[in-house]
Amino acid sequence: MTLRTPYLMFIGDAPDQLAAKTADGVAFWRRQACLGQLRLPGCKADLGLPDMTIEEAAAAGVKTVIVGTTNRGGVLGAGWEPLLVQALELGIDLASGLHHRLADIPVLRETAVRCGRQIADVRHPTREFAVGNGIKRPGKRLLTVGTDCSIGKMFTALALEKEMQGRGLKADFRATGQTGILIAGDGVSIDAVVSDFVSGAVEWLCPANDPDHWDVVEGQGSLFHASYAGVTLGLIHGAQPDALVVCHEPTRPHMRGLPTYKLPDLRICIDRNIEAAQLTNPAVGCIGVSVNTAGLDPGAARDYLRETEARLGLPCVDPMRTGVGRLVDNLPG
Amino acid sequence: MTLRTPYLMFIGDAPDQLAAKTADGVAFWRRQACLGQLRLPGCKADLGLPDMTIEEAAAAGVKTVIVGTTNRGGVLGAGWEPLLVQALELGIDLASGLHHRLADIPVLRETAVRCGRQIADVRHPTREFAVGNGIKRPGKRLLTVGTDCSIGKMFTALALEKEMQGRGLKADFRATGQTGILIAGDGVSIDAVVSDFVSGAVEWLCPANDPDHWDVVEGQGSLFHASYAGVTLGLIHGAQPDALVVCHEPTRPHMRGLPTYKLPDLRICIDRNIEAAQLTNPAVGCIGVSVNTAGLDPGAARDYLRETEARLGLPCVDPMRTGVGRLVDNLPG
């Protein structure tokens, strides 16, 4: 699946900004592709984009409406269906990161077929994958891993892609989750792949390439997360990374969703990820740490980065506060 | 899904004994449940069971026909469908470990519905699972792990269940693959579960139990297999094993299906599996090694077990040659 741009961001009646975090991510990273937002009465989120109706979006050339809000249960809100039907009838595709498929809603599916439009439920893989073969392939790959879930792996990967492209390096972000897919326009939602095929799906996602080309692969989960570590390990083996960047958030009290599980020590986390990745690429190394210091004041953030850097002997950056330039400086040749 | 016994083993026109290995496993471990075998002209496999027609099986009280042979592409052989329809019409359920679902064959599905019979395609999970929660639960669990795939993890787990039950311990084999499910009569084919839910599915498979009850969980894959290690890690975390048994085959030249990957050293394999399992059960230990020495002559097998035992400081057994009693002797109290 490939998504057509430009987008209209549909955020419905999102009760707060967090409920629209998928849309927020797309609007942040694909600003030029987002022509407007559609908000319904009661919406408390704002992407800072021009408000548009479906008709206005069609007139402005929008090619895809992104359903970029989550609501409890993942179902559509009241009154949303007619608007999405209208979009399809005006020649606009739909894309959604919701758990429940838009294509399972009969009126949307039938309208899409009738109008020859695409519905991309990006959380659900649309093809079958082979089992991973573990064969080394040309091209270079960087993978973001982390001490926990939802800790900045996508953000860091996108920041790295931008910095690398800015320096004239050949680099492509490879999306492995729904927000990343909506940003990149394609990818595989890796945690929705049948477990036997996870490394095969990742091999497909970042295939052989030019020797000096970098795939910057979005990580998922954490080797230290009791619910999802298997997804992470399959992703690591399929990606065959040459370079790892470890992502961390220093103020998080416990592993996401697991109140009795503490975050791992950064040194141990780095060592275990390297150990795991060495199976399919013995030459792998960790090039640095990406810290989300949003929970610290500027002075404390600076101290944390400096102390962590001294302790680990690796560049430590915050993509928002310092940029990721020092990670790119440290890429293997 | 729960399979009704007794069984008729349907091995079609299996070209050799290996093609009937699923049926072979069921006949070995559930001898009393297997009333007979149905072989078609050209069949070169023999389970050593009485040959029966479908009518004879129905008259003998068979409750389930097990389609226990694999053929290229996983589809049914010519002339098989009418026999399976006949079984359904005579009140017999169907169970299959084939990749393609029997229930996807219209005439079988319709006949099953019409006759109120069950078709169990055991390779395919029939329910949804929650995400793993990592919460410690009562009861004890043993998990077989291995240096590679197809290296004796199911066989060892079944031998352990038998030995433990023989000593009056409360023990239940928990199946995670199709052959194991056909043997146990239920279970979850874990490599067919969507990756996000693997540890949750295993938590469901071996739930809270009496404090002195052992679940003997069948392992899958290997942490050292580039195609499937993620499945293995999710299984380890969901099982929260108290005891690990590491399975090995000393003459295998390379990892199954991966000619450029060597098998890991046993010591490293043990350490990595313990390290991984400690995330959800810090008290885990390895109680011994189960070696398939079929490729060695008796003297060499004895030497290999003795030397390995001395090197690792752990009981090393071959379930076929020595039994698994010394592993059970070493279970934690």
SS3 track for A312-329: HCCCEECCCCCCCHHHHH
For residue B193, which residues of chain A lie inside 8 Å, CB to CB?
Answer: 194-195
Residue from A228, A236, A265, A268 whose CB has the most chain B CBs within 10 Å, to mutate: A228
Instruction: List, in order, residues 6 or more apart from B313 with CB less than 8 Å away.
Output: none
pLDDT, tens digit, 9 for 90 and up, residues B249-263: 999 999 999 999 999
Q: Which of A226, A231, A261 sits opposite B230 (nearest CB)?
A: A231
Contacts of A310 (CB under 8 A, 6+ apart): none
At residue A100 the predicted structure's pLDDT band, cuts being 50, 70 and 90, is confident
In this predicted model, what pLDDT tens digit does every residue of B197-230 receive, in sequence order? 999 999 999 999 999 999 999 999 999 999 999 9
Q: In whole angstroms, what is the distance from residue B318 CA to residue A196 CA? A: 29
Q: What is chain B's length?
A: 333
Q: Contact A192/B190, CB-based, under 8 Å? A: no
Say what the pLDDT of residue A69 is. Answer: 83
Mean pLDDT, residues B61-65: 98
Flag if B224 and A195 touch (Cβ within 8 Å).
no
What pLDDT sits at residue B98? 86
Tell the burial category of B131 from Cβ atoms under 10 Å away from its Cβ (0-12, 13-18, 19+).
middle
pLDDT at A220 over 70: yes
Q: Which helix or strand (DSSP H or E) is residue A75 part of?
A: none
The string of pLDDT tens digits covering residues A245-300 is: 999 999 999 999 999 999 999 999 999 999 999 999 999 999 999 999 999 999 99
Inform me whether the C-beta atom of residue B268 falls under 8 Å from chain A C-beta atoms. no
Which pTM value belongs to this model?
0.95
Give the up-direction half-sphere exposure of residue B186: CA atoms within 13 A in the CB hemisphere: 9
Helix extents (H) in A64-152:
80-89, 106-115
Q: How much is the pLDDT for A72?
A: 63
Determine, for residues A279 and B192 on separate chains, whether the beta-carbon distance falls below 8 Å: no
Strands (E), chain A: 7-12, 34-39, 64-67, 93-96, 119-121, 140-146, 170-174, 213-217, 243-248, 285-291, 316-317
Q: Is domain A7-121 in CATH 3.30.420.40, yes or no? A: no
Q: How far apart are CA A255 and CA A261, in angstroms?
A: 5
pLDDT of residue A97: 87
CA angle A152, A155, A156 (to 5 degrees): 80
Task: Give CATH for domain B140-329.
Answer: 3.40.50.300
pLDDT at A78 over 90: no
Burial class (CB in 10 A: 0-12, 13-18, 19+), B128: exposed
- CB-CB contact of B23 with B11 (8 Å): yes
Among B195, B199, B258, select the one facing A193 at the smallest CB separation: B195
Q: Rounded distance, CA A122 to CA A289, Å?
A: 29
B183 and B161 in contact (C-beta within 8 Å)? no
Strands, sheet with B213-217, edge to edge from the N-terminal-most edge strand: B170-174, B213-217, B140-146, B243-248, B285-291, B316-317
Query: H or E element: which one contains B285?
Result: strand B285-291
- C-alpha angle with apex A170: A166 to A172, nearest 5 degrees? 90
Same fold across A7-121 and A140-329: yes
Q: Is the ipTM of this complex over 0.90?
A: yes
Residues B84-98: what's their mean pLDDT?
96
Tell me the C-alpha distance between B313 and B327, whole Å. 13
Query: Cβ of B5 under 8 Å from any chain A Cβ?
Result: no
Q: What are the residues whose beta carbons fall under 8 Å from the beta carbon of B196, sequence distance 6 or more?
A: A191, A192, A227, A228, A231, B131
Q: State the average pLDDT over residues B142-155.
A: 97
Cβ(A323)–Cβ(A163) below 8 Å: yes
pLDDT, tens digit (0-9, with 9 covering 90-100), for A115-173:
999 999 999 998 999 999 999 999 999 999 999 999 999 999 999 999 999 999 999 99
Annotated domain spans of chain B: 7-121, 140-329
Are B195 and A195 inside 8 Å of each other by CB? yes
